[in-house]
Structures are given as C-alpha cells and as structure tokens.
C-alpha cells in the first residue's frame, strides 16, 4: 500500500508539475530538461528516486526560469535509453537528467555529443567519465571517491585487515569491486575473499557461508538494494557477528524498509549523502518537500540529481541560454549543493565527497558516522 501511495503521489505530482510548466510564465531564462531515467526493471527504485529528485528541482526552479520537461522511462537496456535521448533531442534541450545505469550512459554519450546535450546523472559507473566526452556530468561521487571512503572507514576507523568483499556481477558491482581493490591495496589491506553475485540470486546464504569460511574480520558489500537487504537479513538470521559495511544501496530508505531495525544493528554503509539523517536546515527542508510531494523517503540519488538539476537551472538563471553555455557553466563552475560542494574535475566528475552512515538497531534512519569531504582534492579551498 505504501508503495502504491508512493507511486500515486509521484504520478499526481508529476501531472501537477507538468501543468505548472506551461508556457506563458514570466521568464528571464528558459530551460528544457527531459528526465530520462529507469522507472521499470531492476533499477526502478533507484531510478524513481532519481526522477523524483530531478522533478523536485525543476518544480523549485529559481525565479525567472521557466522550465519544460517530460519524464521518459528508459527501462534498463542501452537501446531504450538511446531511443529516449533521440526522442528528447527532437526539441530544444538545455540538459537531460540522464539514467543512473552505466551501460545506458555509455550508449547515450556519443549521441549526446552529436547533439550537444549535457547529461546530468547520478550514475556511479566510473567509465562514463573516462570516455573523453565533455557532455557528461556526474553529481554522485564515483567509485573512486565512495570506495576510497568505504575502504578507509573499514581500515582506518574500524581497524579491520581481513575484509571479505561480496559484489554484484553488474556494471555497478564490477566497477565498485575494482575500486575497492585499489583502495584496499593503497591501505595495505588484502581481501581474504572476493565473489560476484548475480542480482537475480534468491539465496545469498551460500556466498555468506563461503565468505565466513575465509575467516574475515569484516564483510564488505557492494550489492544492489534487494540483494543488500537479503544478505543482511540472512546474516542476522544466522547470528553472524562479523561487522558489515555495505555499499551505497544500503543507505536507501527503500532498502532499509525491507529490514527490521534490529537486523540493521551495527550495519554501516557508504553513500554520497543521507538526506533523512538531516545535517542542515536546507537538507531537512528538502526531505520534507520530498516527502510531501512523493509520499516517500529521499535518498542520496534523489539529492544528487536534485543538486545537479539545480546547478543547471542556476546556470540558466545566470544567463546560460544554450546547451553549450550550460555545459561550459557546469564544466567551470562551482555549486554549493545540499549534499556537498560540486565542481568538475575536468572529466565531468562533480561530486568528491562521501559519508559513512550507521544504523543503531532501533530505527531505520541511520546516523552519519564519518564524512570524507573533497576526497579527490578537486574542490579548491576545501580541505581533503
């Protein structure tokens, strides 16, 4: 019922939102920002967060900026994403809120370059900003940032030296696993166990058992939402005492909703941000607005996409009247977002901070345990 209400709220809000964007409003600038995200398929939860974040940012457009937008489901295939981009490109486009799925982004990049459309995404897949394409902007810390925070928390804060790494056999999982390996290596830590898990796996007890047989001192997860919840539930049911530090999927309220608070006790996770954990009046206001609009809890993807679209709109408000002007503004500017300060590293990586959140076993709202700001040192004037 809760999920139904959430979908209903989102749909009603989207309709109201579209109606509010009819031409005729007074404007200093005009922005057309299609939202092309996965609303169906295995990434529908995350994609819906992404959609909601973008829609909320467009609804809260700065004064004098009129926005036009439509939401198109990209599913999970690269082909559908390219088709959606081609469809969106039929009109004058300022920027696109683009899918968080790495393979879809890789497919959309050449077309975005051909059409000259900035893609604003929260995809964590490292390779999307390694193609030399100047039209991609990632408002979510890449694996180079989050996995360094992940590994540093495990090694420096928890003092663990024998991690077992369990990752997903998807682009997200393989990219994260590769960066975890590098980060652990830099810290002088050698994982005692590494195994990939298919996202369709219905029982993770076998991999948990194998991991425990390697006698790890910490379980490091890099799984999607559903598998993360399943793994933690099975670990709790089997009385596993080894601490768990999960990937960003764990911080999502929709993941925590799949578990009892007691099952979450002691579990930590890396993420870009945790809006439901609060931290500032602005973040709390965002969370309240999000809940009111969508009858759902916001996560880091929603906040990242919100911040990204807000930066686009700020550029338009500042006079960027074309997609090229917006691209330049995103490439060269600095934006103080709700989650962090954003600035491009020259490749389109805008986010350089991550946090570690932990659950106390009493509620599904985690507390921020550690911040890792400006991990890459890109944001000038901010300490690493």
Give me the 50-79 binding string for other proteins, x by CB under 8 A, dash otherwise.
--------------------xxxx--xxxx
Interface with other proteins, residue 99, by CB under 8 A: no
Can you tell me which of 9, 28, 30, 44 binds other proteins, judged by CB under 8 A? 44
Can you tell me which of 50, 69, 174, 271 binds other proteins, judged by CB under 8 A? 174
CB of 311 to other proteins, least distance (A): 25
Q: Are 207 and 234 in contact (CB under 8 A)?
A: no
Stretch of 86-94, 228-236, 240-248, 330-338 lying at the interface with other proteins (CB under 8 A): 86-94
Cα→Cα distances 121→181, 278, 300, 349, Å:
25, 23, 12, 10
Interface with other proteins, residue 376, by CB under 8 A: no
CB of 171 to other proteins, least distance (A): 4
> Which residue lies nearer to other proteins by CB, 66 or 171?
171
> Which residue lies nearer to other proteins by CB, 249 or 355?
249
Stretch of 102-110, 142-150, 351-359, 375-383 lying at the interface with other proteins (CB under 8 A): 102-110
Q: How many CB atoms lie within 10 A of CB 10?
A: 21
Can you tell me which of 86, 157, 324, 360 binds other proteins, judged by CB under 8 A? 86
Can you tell me which of 5, 8, 11, 210 binds other proteins, judged by CB under 8 A? 11
Stretch of 6-14, 202-210, 263-271, 369-377 lying at the interface with other proteins (CB under 8 A): 6-14
Interface with other proteins, residue 129, by CB under 8 A: no
Applying CB under 8 A, which residues contact other proteins?
Answer: 7, 11, 14, 39-40, 44, 70-73, 76-79, 82-84, 86-87, 89-90, 102-103, 106-107, 109-111, 114, 125, 127, 131, 169-175, 196
């Amino acid at each position: 019922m809760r999920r139904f209400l959430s979908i209903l709220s989102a749909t009603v809000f989207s309709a109201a939102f579209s109606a509010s964007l009819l031409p005729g409003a007074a404007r200093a600038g005009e922005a057309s920002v299609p939202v092309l995200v996965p609303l169906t398929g295995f990434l529908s939860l995350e994609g819906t967060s992404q959609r909601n974040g973008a829609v909320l940012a467009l609804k809260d457009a700065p004064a004098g900026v009129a926005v036009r937008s439509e939401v198109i489901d990209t599913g999970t295939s690269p082909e559908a994403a390219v088709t959606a981009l081609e469809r969106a490109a039929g009109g004058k486009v300022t920027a696109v809120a683009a899918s968080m799925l790495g393979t879809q982004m890789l497919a959309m990049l050449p077309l975005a370059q051909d059409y000259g459309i900035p893609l604003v995404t929260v995809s964590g897949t490292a390779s999307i900003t390694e193609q030399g394409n100047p039209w991609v902007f990632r408002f979510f810390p890449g694996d180079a940032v989050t996995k360094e925070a992940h590994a540093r928390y495990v090694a420096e804060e928890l003092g663990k030296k024998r991690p077992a790494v369990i990752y997903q056999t998807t682009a997200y999982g393989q990219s994260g696993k590769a960066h975890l390996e590098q980060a652990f290596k830099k810290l002088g830590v050698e994982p005692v166990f590494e195994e990939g898990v298919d996202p369709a796996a219905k029982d993770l007890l076998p991999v948990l058992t194998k991991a425990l047989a390697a006698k790890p001192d910490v379980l490091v997860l890099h799984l999607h939402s559903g598998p993360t919840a399943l793994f933690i539930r099975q670990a709790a049911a089997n009385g596993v005492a080894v601490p768990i530090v999960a990937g960003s999927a764990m911080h999502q309220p929709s993941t925590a909703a799949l578990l009892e608070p007691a099952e979450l006790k002691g579990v930590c996770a890396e993420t870009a941000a945790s809006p439901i954990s609060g931290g500032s009046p602005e973040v709390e206001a965002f969370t309240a607005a999000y809940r009111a609009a969508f009858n759902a809890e916001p996560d880091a993807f929603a906040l990242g996409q919100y911040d990204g679209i807000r930066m686009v709109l700020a550029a338009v408000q500042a006079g960027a009247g074309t997609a090229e002007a917006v691209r330049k503004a995103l490439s060269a500017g600095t934006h103080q977002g709700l989650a962090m300060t954003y600035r491009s590293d020259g490749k389109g990586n805008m986010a350089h901070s991550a946090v570690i959140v932990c659950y106390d076993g009493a509620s599904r709202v985690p507390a921020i345990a550690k911040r890792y700001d400006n991990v890459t040192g890109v944001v000038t004037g901010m300490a690493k």
